[in-house]
Amino acid sequence: MPINTLASFFLSLVLSIVGFKIYLKYFKSFLPKYVRDYGPRSHLAKQGTPTMGGAVIWLSTLITLLILAPNRGIIASLLLITGYALIGGIDDYLGIKKKSSQPSKARYKFAIECIITLIWLLMVKHFSIFDLKADFLLFHINSTFWVYVFETLFIVGMANAVNETDGVDGLAGTITAILLVFIFIMFKDTNLSLLSLALLGGLTVFLFYNAHPAKLIMGDIGSLSLGSSIAVLGIMAGKEWVVLTLGVVFLIEAFSVMLQVPYYKLTKKRIFKMTPIHHHFELSGWSEPQIVTRFSLLTLIAAILGVFINGPKW
C-alpha cells in the first residue's frame, strides 16, 4: 500500500478534528437546523441543532487530496463532489435564512444536479479520465447515449438517496462509512483508495459528534457530497453495481419515498406510516440507535455479498 494512501486517512482525520473544533466554537450558533413539522414528533427536539457539519468532511477531503494526490483523476472527482457540496450548501443556507426544512423546489434542485452531472460526464469522457463502463452487473450498456443517461441517474440518484437516508442520528454517516471500508477492501486502484480513505477520515470525526443525541447534523452539503462521492467511487472502479449492492439501505430509503408519494396521491392511503422508511420504523417503536444498528447490519450483509461476487483486492 502506498504511504500516501494511509496518509490520506490520517491527514483527513486530523484536519476534521481541527475543523469540527472550529465549527463548534465559532459557527454552530449561526447554523441552526429547522425540523419539518410533519415528521415524527420526537424530531422536534432536534430543532436548533447545528447543521452543515458536512462542510468539514468535504473540506478535509478536498484539502487532503489536493495535498497528497493532485492528479487529474482525483481533481475530476473533487470537481463533481464540490458541485454537489455547493448545491447542498446553498440549500442549507436558504433553509436557515427562510427558517424552513425544505427551502427550494425539489424539481429545480434535481434539474441543476442533472445538468452538473451531465457536464461532468462529458468532461470525463472527452478527456478520457475514467472509462464510463456503466456496469450494473445484470446488464451492460453499449450505446453512448444510454451510458450518459444511466450514469447521470446513478450519480443523481445516489446523491439524493443518501440525502433521504440522513434523517436519523448517525444513520447516513454510519452506512456510508461501512460502504467506504468495503470499497477500500475490494479494489486495488490507488485513486479509489485515496478518495475512500480521505472521506472515511472526515466521516469518522463527524460520527463522533453525530451519534445519538447528535450535537450536529451534516446537512445537504454533507449528504449530497457524500452521495456523489460514493457514486464516483463506483465509476472509478468501473463497477457501479458494487455501490448499489453495498448501498442497499440507500436504495430502500429512496424507493420507499418513490412508492409512497404517487400511491398516496392516487389513493389517499399510505403504504408506510411515514417515509423515508426509517421514519416508518421510528413510528413502529424502534429507537434511533436501533435503526442505525439494524440498518448497519443489513449493509454489512450486503457488503459481504458484494465481496463474494467481486472478490477482495488481494
Residue 224: other Cβ atoms inside 10 A? 32
Cell of 153: 441517474
Query: What pLDDT was estimated at residue 277?
Result: 96
In a domain, 284, yes or no: no
Query: What pLDDT was estimated at residue 84?
Result: 98
Classify the C-alpha dihedral 19-91-47-250 as positive or negative.
Answer: negative
Query: What pLDDT was estimated at residue 140?
Result: 77
Cell of 17: 478534528
Distance between CA atoms of residues 133 and 147, nearest Å:
8
Give the predicted TM-score (pTM) of the model.
0.93
Query: What pLDDT was estimated at residue 34?
Result: 56
Residue 127 predicted with pLDDT over 90: yes
Cell of 157: 440518484
Region 36-51 average pLDDT: 67
Overall number of domains in the chain: 1
What are the Cα distances from residue 193, in Å, to 161, 301, 313? 23, 22, 11
**CA 258 to chain CA mean position, Å:** 18
In a domain, 271, yes or no: no
Query: What pLDDT was estimated at residue 47?
Result: 73
Query: What pLDDT was estimated at residue 30?
Result: 62
Region 270-295 average pLDDT: 95
In a domain, 296, yes or no: no
Residue 7 predicted with pLDDT over 80: yes
Query: What pLDDT was estimated at residue 36?
Result: 58
Residue 262 predicted with pLDDT over 60: yes
- Nearest 10 degrees: Cα torsion 148, 153, 158, 161: 170
In a domain, 276, yes or no: no
Query: What pLDDT was estimated at residue 188?
Result: 86
Query: What pLDDT was estimated at residue 96?
Result: 82
In a domain, 125, yes or no: yes
**C-alpha triplet 5, 7, 11: angle, nearest 5°:** 130
In a domain, 85, yes or no: yes
* 99: containing domain: 3-241
In a domain, 307, yes or no: no
Could you tell me the pLDDT band of residue 17, with boundaries at 50, 70 and 90? Answer: very high
In a domain, 278, yes or no: no
Classify the C-alpha dihedral 135-138-143-149 as positive or negative.
Answer: negative
Residue 51 predicted with pLDDT over 60: yes
Distance between CA atoms of residues 281 and 286, nearest Å:
6
Residue 277 contacts residue 35 (beta carbons within 8 Å): no
Could you tell me the pLDDT band of residue 94, with boundaries at 50, 70 and 90? Answer: confident
Region 32-36 average pLDDT: 59
> What secondary structure, in 3-state letters, does the chain show?
CCHHHHHHHHHHHHHHHHHHHHHHHHHHHHCECCCCCCCCHHHHHHCCCECCCHHHHHHHHHHHHHHHCCCHHHHHHHHHHHHHHHHHHHHHHHHHHHCCCCCCCHHHHHHHHHHHHHHHHHHHHHCCCCCCCCECCCCECCCHHHHHHHHHHHHHHHHHHHHHHCCCCCHHHHHHHHHHHHHHHHCCCHHHHHHHHHHHHHHHHHHHHHCCCCCCCCHHHHHHHHHHHHHHHHHHHCCHHHHHHHCHHHHHHHHHHHHHHHHHHHHCCCCCCCCCHHHHHHHCCCCHHHHHHHHHHHHHHHHHHHHHHHCCCC
Classify the C-alpha dihedral 63-117-84-249 as positive or negative.
Answer: negative
